Structure 1
Amino acid sequence: MVRLSPLEWPVVRQVRSGDLLGRGPAVTSALTRALAPRTSTADRVVQSVCPYCAVGCGQRIYVKDEKVVQIEGDPDSPISRGRLCPKGSASEQLVNSPGRQVKALYRAPYASEWQSLDKDAAIDMVADRFIESRRRTWQQQDDEGRLLRRTMGIAALGGATLDNEENYLIKKLFTAAGAVQIENQARI
């Protein structure tokens, strides 16, 4: 164990350096002076948008060796002006969490175990089910012959983590597919 010299005690450093109020270099230890922020060692900085809500706060993502090392508010963002809420500030943990799911999981009907699927197979499975449900539940006309051109077998529920542009595109997609049950978490 390293012994601390009495000359390095903060009060002694204050008197020796003339920093009597303890607001200058006298109050920092050698360890503190040797520290460097994680952002100074980053290979690059990527601008992004916080994924948590529809506000769209700007983020600066610091990357070192292709791994996110820090996420901070972007002062150039006209929306958040460099500020992040607690969830936005903790979004680095979302990216680097060891419990983060990075592959698609599927549990077949009546199965008790999940199985891994590659991304293309999962997307194909969702698309096939979407198309089949639309085909099976399509209503061209009602009983009185009025034109409907709709399906009641597909619905969409958008989330508040999507921005306006993403919600607009989802609305256009589901409307074009004939769905009439299109809702958003922010409206419910």
Structure 2
Amino acid sequence: MKTWLDAWPVFRQLTGPDPLGRGAAARSRATENVVARTATADRVVQSVCPYCSVGCAQRVYVKDEQVVQIEGDPDSPVNRGRLCPKGSASKSLVTSPTRVTKVRYRRPYGTEWEDLDLDTAMEMIADRVLDARRRYWQDECDGKRVNRTMGIASLGGAALDNEENYLMKKLYSAMGAIQIENQARI
């Protein structure tokens, strides 16, 4: 007859065939019922961590069109399946209940935020870019032809890759901006 002592993991470890407590002695009924989130996923999507310019590969596990787990990709030569603490916590970027999923806008001198539809927000941004370009346009500076605007600048994030930086440079240069930088230092 089994007693409460038999259910105690330390007792099982000391009296059983698993003295180091790495096998059966460390397992309980609750442990036996645990299933990894990755085992129940419908599909795995390859992705890249958004935090820095290293570009660690990730495996995103999806079940019922919801992200259930994000792990490092062991097939990646960049991170070999490992993620830093930020990368390991990147699932919360998608699943956090506090994640903002609407365009939020606070009018100048306003005290409250309001929701905007995406088309309205994009029109507002386009209008402001064109206005800044027009107001700060310079044909000449010190007698030299410059054809530039000092009203638009770009500081790219460290998570942008070379291709994205190339496109940003082309876009801002086409608008006449000359202050175009990227903060990536790796």
Report the AA paired with residue 182 of structure 1: I
Cα distance change of structure 1 residues 11 and 114 upon mapping to structure 2, 3 Å threshold: closer
- The total of aligned residue pairs comes to 184
1:26 aligns with 2:33: no
Q: What is the CA distance between 1:82 and its match in structure 2? A: 0.6
Counterpart position of 2:77: 78
CA contact (8 A) 1:42 1:63 kept: yes
Counterpart position of 1:109: 108
Q: What is the CA distance between 1:143 and its match in structure 2? A: 4.8
Cα distance change of structure 1 residues 4 and 105 upon mapping to structure 2, 3 Å threshold: farther
Q: What is the TM-score with the length of structure 2 in the denominator? A: 0.89
Counterpart position of 1:151: 149
User: Within 2, Cα distance between the matches of 1:143 and 1:181?
Assistant: 19
Report the AA paired with residue 137 of structure 1: Y
Q: Structure 2: which 5+ residue stretches go unaligned?
A: none
Counterpart position of 2:182: 184
Report the AA paired with residue 89 of structure 1: S
Cα distance change of structure 1 residues 175 and 8 upon mapping to structure 2, 3 Å threshold: same
Counterpart position of 1:162: 160
User: Within 2, Cα distance between the matches of 1:108 and 1:25?
Assistant: 62
Q: Summarize deviations over 1:77-117 as a string: whole Å, max 9, x none.
A: 12111110000000111211111111111111222211111
Q: Summarize deviations over 1:136-184 as a string: whole Å, max 9, x none.
A: 222122352x221111111111111222221221111111111011122
Q: What is the CA distance between 1:5 and its match in structure 2? A: 3.4
User: Within 2, Cα distance between the matches of 1:111 and 1:21?
Assistant: 64
Counterpart position of 1:134: 133
Matches within 5 A, 1:63-102: 63-102=62-101
Q: Which moved more, 1:16-25 or 1:175-184?
A: 16-25
Instruction: Indicate the percent of aligned positions where both proteins have the same amino acid.
Output: 64
User: Within 1, Cα distance between the matches of 2:42 and 2:130?
Assistant: 44
Cα distance change of structure 1 residues 28 and 112 upon mapping to structure 2, 3 Å threshold: same
Cα distance change of structure 1 residues 117 and 140 upon mapping to structure 2, 3 Å threshold: same
Q: Structure 1: which 5+ residue stretches go unaligned?
A: none
Q: What is the TM-score with the length of structure 1 in the denominator? A: 0.88
User: Within 2, Cα distance between the matches of 1:97 and 1:132?
Assistant: 36
- What is the alpha-carbon root mean square deviation over aligned residues? 2.1
Q: Which moved more, 1:13-22 or 1:89-98?
A: 13-22
